[in-house]
Structure 1
Amino acid sequence: MGKKTIHVSDFTGTVLQADDEVVRVVVLEHPDLVAGPVQLDATPAEIESIDDAALDVAVVEVHDRHGGDEPRRVVLTASEFDAMATDTPMAQLLRTAERVKPPRARKGAEKIDYGTVEHAGKPHRGRVTEEEARIVRDQLDEVNKRLADAGLRQVDPTDPEHASRYGFPTPA
């Protein structure tokens, strides 16, 4: 018995032929997205108008007492944001405003132990230990929920690379 895999467009459900070009669309933020970024497959024709539909937006973080310890992230049209500047044009404000420095990396940062439930399955370049692989196999749902909550890729036991990396049965 053999298996046949049929690829379809996530946008239209159209069956994709082996020689069709497939475009990967990663959805980073959306009101209905609850567990981190996802990937959708489409044809170039299905998304050809995506750049025309793009909006000029401003993405800002608001650091105030309403957010507690965490800033609120707000997306608004660039023109709405620009209209908030009534004394000096926004373009000038942005050119002369104080730059935000990225947080400094801690010197002597602790080495991450991927052989723990807290870190197992996180993407890394190092070798996967048997302990990490066992945790990922035995607690896959918990590991994937934690990865999704952190906005990281999830472990897919049907992906040949993940199957090999974490010791899942290799898909046929």
Structure 2
Amino acid sequence: MGKKTIRVSDFSGRVLQPDDEATRVVVLEHPDLVAGPVQLDATPAEVESIDDAALDVAIVEIHDSHGGGDPRRVVLTASEFDAMATDTPMAQLLRTADRVRPPKTRRAAEKIDYGSIEHAGRPHRGRVTEEEARLVRERLDEVNKRLADSGVRQIDPADPEHAARYGFPTPD
């Protein structure tokens, strides 16, 4: 018995033919998004209007005493943000403002064991050990739930890259 993979547009439900081009849309932020970024498949025609509908926005973090000291992330139109600068034009302020450097990350003194169920399947640059691949194959639902809960991409056995990395059978 063989398997047949049928690709469909997540937007319209339209079946994509083998020679149809598919466009991958990664949703980074959305009010209904609960477990981190997700990807959707669409046809190029379905997403060609996205650029036209795009808004010019400013995304800012407000660091104050509200929210227990954690910064608040706010999205507003660029024109609303620009209007807040009343003395000097916002474009000039942004050119001359102090740069924010990302915080330095400390390397963990302890090496992460991706061959354990707590870390198996997490994205990493190193080689996937047979133990990690076995855990991912045998406990895929558990691994994907943990990855989703931590906002990390999930493993899709139908994805050729994931299939090769974790030893899933590839469709012929």
TM-score bucket of the superposed structures, by smaller chain:
0.7 to 0.9
Counterpart secondary structure, 2:73? strand
Counterpart secondary structure, 2:123? coil
The residue aligned with 2:113 is 113
The residue aligned with 2:166 is 166
Closer/same/farther in 2, CA of residues 115 and 82 from structure 1, 3 Å limit: same
The amino acid that maps onto 1:151 is G
1:52 has 2:52 as partner: yes
Taking the aligned partners of 2:149 and 2:117, their CA distance within structure 1 comes to 15
Closer/same/farther in 2, CA of residues 117 and 76 from structure 1, 3 Å limit: same
Counterpart secondary structure, 1:118? coil
1:39 has 2:39 as partner: yes
Cα deviation for residue 135 of structure 1 reads 3.5
**Ranges in structure 1 where 5+ consecutive residues have no aligned partner:** none
Cα RMSD, aligned residues only: 2.4
Cα deviation for residue 133 of structure 1 reads 3.0
1:30 has 2:30 as partner: yes
The amino acid that maps onto 1:18 is P
How far does the alpha carbon of each residue in 1:13-45 deviate from its partner, in whole angstroms, 9 at most, with x for none?
112112111111111111111111111111111
Query: In the comparison of the two structures, how many residue pairs are matched?
Result: 172
Matches within 5 A, 1:17-166: 17-106=17-106, 110-166=110-166
TM-score (norm 2): 0.84
Closer/same/farther in 2, CA of residues 6 and 167 from structure 1, 3 Å limit: closer
Counterpart secondary structure, 1:68? helix
Indicate conservation of the 8 Å contact 2:35/2:151, yes or no. yes
The amino acid that maps onto 1:145 is K
TM-score (norm 1): 0.84
Closer/same/farther in 2, CA of residues 30 and 149 from structure 1, 3 Å limit: same
Taking the aligned partners of 1:3 and 1:137, their CA distance within structure 2 comes to 18
Taking the aligned partners of 1:160 and 1:54, their CA distance within structure 2 comes to 32
The amino acid that maps onto 2:116 is T
**Ranges in structure 2 where 5+ consecutive residues have no aligned partner:** none
Taking the aligned partners of 2:89 and 2:52, their CA distance within structure 1 comes to 27
How far does the alpha carbon of each residue in 1:36-68 deviate from its partner, in whole angstroms, 9 at most, with x for none?
111111111111111110000001111122232
Q: Which 4+ runs in 1 deviate beyond 4 A?
A: 107-110, 167-172
Indicate conservation of the 8 Å contact 1:35/1:145, yes or no. no
Taking the aligned partners of 1:48 and 1:170, their CA distance within structure 2 comes to 31
* Deviates most, 79-88 or 106-115: 106-115
